Amino acid sequence: MPPATDLPHGFVDLKTLWLEKNLKVQAKEYSVIGMVVDTFAPIVNQRGDLQVTFRIFDQRLFNFFKKSPKGFLVRFFTRPYSSDQLPQDLTMGDVILLRQPIDVVSYQDEPIIRPYARTPWVLFRSNSIPKPFFAVGYAAKQRLACEASSPAVKDGVTESEQLFVIQLKAEVDHLIGRAAGQADGTKRPAADTLESRRKHPRVGGFGPKFKLIEQLRDRMFADICGEVVKTFAVRSGDVELYVTDFTTNPQLWSYEKPSGRVTDTHDETMHEPGRDGDDFGYSHSVKKTPKGFPGPYGKRVLKVMLKDPHAEEARSNVREGCFVLLQNVKCTFVPGTSVLQGDMWPDWDDPTRVKLRLLKNLTTPEIIAIRERKAEYLVEHGPPKDARGATRKGKKQAAVDDRRYTSETQSSRKSGGSTRCSHGEVPFMSLADVLDMANKRHNNSRNTVVPFDLPFVNAKYRTRATIVDFHPSELHDFAVQREIDPQERSEFSQDANWELTPKWEWAFSLLLQDASGRGKDRDSCAWVHVSHLDAQFLLGNDMPDPTDLRQDAKLLAKLREKLFCLWGNLEETKSPQSAQTLSNVPFECCIREYGQPVDIRDKSENASTDYIRLYQLFGVTIM
């Protein structure tokens, strides 16, 4: 591996680009590589252009900022009908390469990388970048999976660029992890214990800035998920939001039960300050916990001050008992105390951006964990009186919420509760609508004299389906030996003592049926291919790399156990001697539609197109 200072030829590090922003650096002459550390929702600006914005880091820029790293802003522009020319669905941890020409402009004294419409780019997904230990393979003609602005740009990625991508990902991940450890003053556990898994769910979609309340420290920026205990509008137009995730932080106020007894045994001398108009006591005179405080008691509730536009969202939509996600909350001590509170100010880049999200899906891992901790709290301390408000309306709303949670949880367990689907932004539709047998979405009747049917469209869908068949018919054929490049074979064959080890990859297909179960007919079933990378994502991080499954009985058994969670007793029902009926449940997944040229030898005389429409499964993980 090259050291972090060895940039590929023609590239400039982000620190140099940042420092030379006032020297009129000729950025058009340089290319850059960075890891995505923040993303923004795509918007259409006033000129009608689609704007895609994200922030990137490299090692030098991170070390340069140290105390308040925020990343180098990158902003793409294009016309909405050309959105496929931009990087799609970026997530934190992806690595992007921008080749020259690029432009650097200044906005409010901050430099912004502005790629041109013709700027080539290459995107390496986070889950496809290996650890540095495996980098030697990518110095020997092995290719990293990537997406690019064109096939030629994708093929032009060099070995040194691949190695630097691997190095960059590992080093920035390490720097971010170390900075997080220094910020909250805690040591990271050497192993994942049962207790840490219970408190800190491993699966979630809130990103690396997500923190539990117990992890918050002074001068930390964090994303917080919690249940709203109380809202309070102040005269300035701000909103005070009191949230809890039922974890304890010693730097929060200790709320007492109405009897005056402090429930937090860690600090029995802690009393609560109060003031007129401050329902929950953030001033310095001492008074008891206000009447009607719904709990939880002890040091479990965080006060967050909201400015517009977040305050307006809270006034309009947030009620007690709701679950919310608060993004980029600044945690600071209340002046003159060592007690934490949160602040949410307008976004620096986009003052209209609302960073308060109302969470209506109560089956996400974070909310399930909060509900479990809440249940443990109620078992230990008992249910508070009028916890949802003494009014009949409050009690009725509490009952509705509890029924909804129970219903959604049971539905989740019955409907693919053992899987997790990513890409929530992908439009949802039934499998029958995806197949579009009537060609309603594949008919091109606009701007043309003679309408015609498109053989396929490059599109992504999210749907619910069950698996009713698979191919190959035997599980031990789900891994195939990868063909070795002739040039790679010839290079290794020059060494008489070197034996080239065969490499294996996942390759199989699944027959999906619409979740409505309208029968195993042509209009509601589709074969979807599962590629090697998508299969790795499907099977999860605990599944080893594929080998010869005919020889590896242990891996075959693990694969069978994993897939049982996905398709139930499907494998047993395929046996000729079996009298079982299929018993599996629908699950949510993403499907990618694409086209493939028809082999001239397979093309029939009546074929109306030179392409065949195919589908690929992606974005779903077996838990």
Q: How many residues appear in the chain?
A: 623
Question: Does the domain at residues 205-411 carry the CATH identifier 2.40.50.140?
Answer: yes
The fold of the 431-622 domain, in CATH, is OB fold (Dihydrolipoamide Acetyltransferase, E2P) (2.40.50)
Mind spelling out the 3-state secondary structure of 120-170? Answer: CEEEECHHHCCCHHHHHHHHCCCCCCCEECCHHHHHCCCHHHHHHHHHHHH
Please answer whether residues 44 and 80 qualify as being in contact, where contact means their C-beta atoms are separated by less than 8 angstroms. yes
Residue 149 CA to residue 582 CA, distance in Å, equals 44
Q: In which band, very low, low, confident or very high, does the pLDDT at 347 lie, cut at 50, 70 and 90?
A: confident
Q: Which two tokens stand for residue 298?
A: 């002890």
The fold of the 14-180 domain, in CATH, is OB fold (Dihydrolipoamide Acetyltransferase, E2P) (2.40.50)
Residue 52 CA to residue 58 CA, distance in Å, equals 20
Residue 538 CA to residue 534 CA, distance in Å, equals 6
Percent of the chain with pLDDT over 90: 14
Q: Which two tokens stand for residue 425?
A: 């932004």
Tens of pLDDT along 400-417?
555 544 444 444 444 445
- Tell me phi and psi for residue 560, to 5 degrees: -60, -40
Residue 497 to residues 386, 485, 491, 493, 503, Cα–Cα distance (Å): 78, 20, 13, 9, 19
* pLDDT (mean) for 214-224: 88
Residue 244 CA to residue 230 CA, distance in Å, equals 10
Q: Which two tokens stand for residue 324?
A: 């919310």
C-alpha dihedral, 247 to 248 to 249 to 254, nearest 10°: 130
Please answer whether residues 313 and 303 qualify as being in contact, where contact means their C-beta atoms are separated by less than 8 angstroms. no
Report whether pLDDT(213) > 80.
yes
* pLDDT (mean) for 543-568: 90
| Beta bridge pairs of residue 357 | 325
- Tell me phi and psi for residue 344, to 5 degrees: -125, 110
Judged by average pLDDT, the poorest of 232-236, 353-357, 488-492, 565-569 is: 488-492
- Tell me phi and psi for residue 126, to 5 degrees: -55, -45
Tens of pLDDT along 32-80?
999 998 888 777 777 777 888 898 988 888 777 765 557 788 988 877 6
Residue 332 CA to residue 347 CA, distance in Å, equals 18
Residue 553 CA to residue 22 CA, distance in Å, equals 62
Tens of pLDDT along 450-507?
666 778 888 888 888 999 999 999 999 999 987 655 554 544 444 444 445 568 899 9
Residue 507 has what pLDDT? 92
Please answer whether residues 496 and 475 qualify as being in contact, where contact means their C-beta atoms are separated by less than 8 angstroms. no
Report whether pLDDT(196) > 60.
no
3-state secondary structure at position 105: strand
Residue position matching structure tokens 């949510």: 588
H-only helix segments in 9-144: 14-19, 59-65
Q: In which band, very low, low, confident or very high, does the pLDDT at 360 lie, cut at 50, 70 and 90?
A: confident
* pLDDT (mean) for 515-535: 78
Q: Which two tokens stand for residue 28?
A: 């058009």
User: Model pTM greater than 0.85?
Assistant: no
Q: What is the identity of the amino acid at 426?
A: V
Residue 406 CA to residue 402 CA, distance in Å, equals 6
Residue 251 CA to residue 302 CA, distance in Å, equals 10
Q: What's the mean pLDDT when you consider all of the chain?
A: 75
Residue 336 has what pLDDT? 80
Angle at the Cα of 167 from the Cα atoms of 164 and 171, rounded to 5 degrees: 140
- Pairing between β-strand 32-39 and β-strand 43-44 as defined by DSSP bridges: unpaired
Neighbours of 53 (CB within 10 A): 19
- Report the greatest alpha carbon distance in the chain: 89
Tens of pLDDT along 365-406?
788 888 888 888 887 776 655 444 444 444 555 555 555 444
Burial class (CB in 10 A: 0-12, 13-18, 19+), 538: buried
* pLDDT (mean) for 185-190: 44
Residue 388 has what pLDDT? 42
Residue 358 CA to residue 322 CA, distance in Å, equals 7
Neighbours of 592 (CB within 10 A): 19
Residue 302 has what pLDDT? 92
Tens of pLDDT along 226-262?
999 888 887 777 888 999 999 999 888 888 776 544 3
Burial class (CB in 10 A: 0-12, 13-18, 19+), 195: exposed
Angle at the Cα of 592 from the Cα atoms of 587 and 595, rounded to 5 degrees: 140
Choice between 47 and 283, residue whose per-residue pLDDT is larger:
47
| Beta bridge pairs of residue 32 | 98
Residue limits of CATH 2.40.50.140 in the chain: 14-180, 205-411
Choice between 222 and 416, residue whose per-residue pLDDT is larger:
222
Burial class (CB in 10 A: 0-12, 13-18, 19+), 511: middle
Residue position matching structure tokens 């923190």: 211
Please answer whether residues 483 and 445 qualify as being in contact, where contact means their C-beta atoms are separated by less than 8 angstroms. no
Helix (H) or strand (E) segment spanning residue 372: helix 365-381
- Pairing between β-strand 220-233 and β-strand 239-244 as defined by DSSP bridges: antiparallel
Residue 289 has what pLDDT? 55
Q: Peptide bond preceding 576: is omega within 30 degrees of 0, i.e. cis?
A: no
Residue 511 has what pLDDT? 93
Report whether pLDDT(183) > 80.
no
Tens of pLDDT along 134-174?
776 666 667 888 888 888 898 888 888 888 998 888 888 77
Q: In which band, very low, low, confident or very high, does the pLDDT at 509 lie, cut at 50, 70 and 90?
A: very high
Tens of pLDDT along 593-619?
988 887 666 555 555 567 888 999 998
Gap between the terminal Cα atoms of the chain: 34
3-state secondary structure at position 381: helix
Neighbours of 461 (CB within 10 A): 19
Q: Which two tokens stand for residue 243?
A: 């949230």
